[in-house]
C-alpha cells in the first residue's frame, strides 16, 4: 500500500507540532523502586525515600518539568495517630506543598493490626524551574501527627513485598 502525502508534504511535517507552540514532551526520565525498604520516619524532618529520586537537565530555562510519583507503603504501627505525609522536592525546595508542607498525605495505622494494610499514593506537580542546570527531583516523607514510626516502602508491615514505586519527570517545551 502506498503512503499518501497530502499536498506533497513529508509525513514528519504533517505530524510535527507547528513551530512556536509549547507543550511538546522533549525528554522523559524515570526511576522505579522495586525493593522493600524500612525507614524511620519522624515528625521533625522530611526523610528521603531511597530509590525515588532522579536527575533531569532542561534544554531551555522556559521549559517546564512535569513530575509524577506513585508510592506504595505501609506503616509498622497498630494505633491511631500515624499520618504519613509525602512531598515532592526539587533539591531542598518543596513542590506543591500545602498544609504541613506536604504534597500529599494518607492516614494509615488507624488501629490497623492487619499485616495486609498498604496504600498507594499518587503525587504530581508541574514545575517551572527556570534553569538549564541538572535538577534533582525526589520523594520525601514525614509523620506529621507526632513521633517516630517505621514506614515500609513497597511492603506490608510483616515485611512481605507489595508492589513498586516510581517517579517520572517529563520536560515540556515552554
This model's pTM is above 0.85 = no
Which pLDDT belongs to residue 143? 83
Write the CATH number for 130.
2.60.120.1340
160 found inside a domain? yes
9 found inside a domain? no
143 found inside a domain? yes
In terms of Cα–Cα distance, which of 167, 173, 171, 161 is closest to 73? 161
Pair 72, 154: CB distance under 8 Å:
yes
The better pLDDT of the pair 159, 80 is held by 159
4 found inside a domain? no
| Beta-carbon count within 10 A of 17 CB | 10
The better pLDDT of the pair 9, 22 is held by 22
126 found inside a domain? yes
Residue 133 to residue 113: CA distance in whole angstroms:
46
Q: What is the DSSP letter of 157?
A: T
138 confidence band (pLDDT: 50, 70, 90): very high
Domain that holds residue 124: 21-172
Please state the domain count of the chain. Answer: 1
71 found inside a domain? yes
Amino acid at each position: 500500500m502506498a503512503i499518501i502525502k497530502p499536498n506533497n508534504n513529508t509525513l514528519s511535517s504533517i505530524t510535527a507540532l507547528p513551530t512556536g507552540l509549547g507543550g511538546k514532551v522533549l525528554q522523559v526520565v524515570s526511576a522505579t523502586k522495586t525493593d522493600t525498604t524500612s525507614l524511620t520516619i519522624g515528625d521533625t524532618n522530611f526523610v528521603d525515600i531511597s530509590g525515588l529520586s532522579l536527575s533531569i537537565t532542561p534544554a531551555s530555562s522556559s521549559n517546564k518539568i512535569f513530575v509524577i510519583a506513585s508510592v506504595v507503603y505501609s506503616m509498622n504501627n497498630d494505633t491511631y495517630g500515624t499520618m504519613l505525609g509525602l512531598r515532592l522536592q526539587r533539591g531542598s525546595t518543596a513542590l506543591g506543598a500545602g498544609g504541613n508542607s506536604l504534597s500529599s498525605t494518607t492516614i494509615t495505622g488507624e488501629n490497623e493490626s492487619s499485616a495486609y494494610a498498604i496504600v498507594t499514593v499518587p503525587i504530581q506537580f508541574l514545575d517551572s524551574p527556570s534553569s538549564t542546570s541538572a535538577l534533582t527531583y525526589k520523594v520525601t516523607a514525614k509523620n506529621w501527627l507526632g513521633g517516630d514510626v517505621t514506614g515500609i516502602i513497597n511492603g506490608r508491615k510483616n515485611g512481605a513485598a507489595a508492589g513498586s514505586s516510581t517517579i517520572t519527570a517529563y520536560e515540556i517545551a515552554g
